[in-house]
Copies of this chain bind each other. A is one copy, B any other.
């Protein structure tokens, strides 16, 4: 089967680019002795998670309990949920998971750690704990202050937990998400402060987990980081190109679309709107376009309705009803999350069809 045989819109994954992206990140982490625990929220597909393990990852990262369940069902046996889980029902699901796979979880409060410890004790299991600290993102994470050490000490002492260490989200990657040279010493200062506090409190941190895709290849420059959790690197997208960490040749995921209307002068309408590409604008806030049209930098995807992509066509350029265009989305993670399946291709040839098995597992 060939790409021309499938209906649009459809997500297409280039197998060669995917493989190269996986290899490049694995090599980098190998060279710098960093554990790579990829965040599978980007793809939500067990097939890709298995490739990531084959390239040397000890386990995977997920955002949601439901995603962890899907991955465990698919045979992935080392999963970290980097999300604070609240409530008896979720703690029960978590300890059920701990009966069949190695499971870790991140939180930033004693109440959640204590609830998990209690549930784990009742179930006779052990759950890995990573305490999250805020190095500047101001989302989740305990403050880099003495009072946070009380929380750490109490969590550390809980029964039926496996103390894994600490987790940070790189606070230096904010705003435009481009890493700037001055961000590195600033982040290191914060990390050093955190380590001093932990040392003084006598709390070990065998694992320091950090890192996302835009900053991934700088991870070895951050003090003490032992593990990174990039997600987007498997596919890349217009955001990672915008952050200058890759080029469009490194973008493995595109949305295959068809031109369905050319009635309005200067415009072409494709069958991919915000319910196909997602409404995410660029993280940097730069540029108002909703995706990059491969091979046609002159076509501007300047507006999205739910099912219509509005393209401005410059004077002199022609586009025809039925033309097929491939769009690199602004943000690939929410884009994939809108689809039930993707096509894996080599060139134009379809190799496989993968289900986005973790999609829709919101809880």
Chain B binder among A121-129, A197-205, A330-338? A330-338
A223 interface contact, C-beta 8 A: no
Within 8 A of B (CB), among A313-338: 321-322, 333-334, 337-338
A84 interface contact, C-beta 8 A: yes
Interface set of A (CB-CB < 8 Å, partner B): 7-10, 41, 63-64, 83-87, 89-90, 107-109, 111-112, 132, 134, 138-143, 258-265, 267, 269, 271, 274-276, 278-281, 305-308, 310, 321-322, 333-334, 337-340, 359-360, 362-363
Taking CB atoms, residues of chain B closer than 8 Å to A10 are 362-363
Contact (Cβ within 8 A) A261 B310: no
Q: How far is the CB of A167 from chain B (nearest CB, A)?
A: 13
Q: How far is the CB of A171 from chain B (nearest CB, A)?
A: 11
Contact (Cβ within 8 A) B275 A337: yes
Taking CB atoms, residues of chain B closer than 8 Å to A263 are 108-109, 132, 134, 140-143
Taking CB atoms, residues of chain B closer than 8 Å to A308 are 139-140
Taking CB atoms, residues of chain B closer than 8 Å to A340 are 360
Contact (Cβ within 8 A) A274 B334: yes
Taking CB atoms, residues of chain B closer than 8 Å to A8 are 363
Known: A86-B258, A307-B63. A276 touches B139 (CB 8 A): no
Q: How far is the CB of A261 from chain B (nearest CB, A)?
A: 4
Give bound CA distance, A276 to B90, whole Å: 18
Give bound CA distance, A142 to B242, whole Å: 37
Give bound CA distance, A53 to B10, whole Å: 32
Contact (Cβ within 8 A) A362 B322: no
Q: How far is the CB of A134 from chain B (nearest CB, A)?
A: 6
Contact (Cβ within 8 A) B276 A279: no
Taking CB atoms, residues of chain B closer than 8 Å to A274 are 278, 280, 334
Contact (Cβ within 8 A) B139 A264: yes
Instruction: Determine chain A's interface SS by DSSP, over half rule.
Output: loop
Known: A274-B334, A279-B334. A140 touches B86 (CB 8 A): no
Taking CB atoms, residues of chain B closer than 8 Å to A338 are 337-338, 360, 362
Which of A269, A275, A338 gathers most chain B CB within 10 Å? A275
The 9 A-B residue pairs with the shortest CB-CB distance in the complex, in nearest-first order:
A84-B260, A7-B363, A108-B263, A340-B360, A140-B261, A279-B279, A63-B307, A279-B280, A138-B264
Taking CB atoms, residues of chain B closer than 8 Å to A89 are 7
Known pairs A108-B261, A134-B264, A139-B269; list 8 more (Cβ under 8 Å). Answer: A9-B363, A86-B258, A139-B305, A140-B264, A140-B269, A141-B263, A143-B264, A274-B280
Taking CB atoms, residues of chain B closer than 8 Å to A86 are 258-260, 271, 321-322
Taking CB atoms, residues of chain B closer than 8 Å to A267 are 138-139
Closest B residue to A258 by beta carbon equals B86
Give bound CA distance, A87 to B7, whole Å: 8
Give bound CA distance, A267 to B141, whole Å: 11
Taking CB atoms, residues of chain B closer than 8 Å to A307 are 41, 63-64, 83
Which of A267, A276, A306 gathers most chain B CB within 10 Å? A306
Contact (Cβ within 8 A) A87 B258: yes
Closest B residue to A111 by beta carbon equals B321
Q: How far is the CB of A170 from chain B (nearest CB, A)?
A: 13
Give bound CA distance, A338 to B111, whole Å: 30
- Report which of B281, B321, B334, B339 forms a contact with A362, defined as CB distance below 8 A: B339
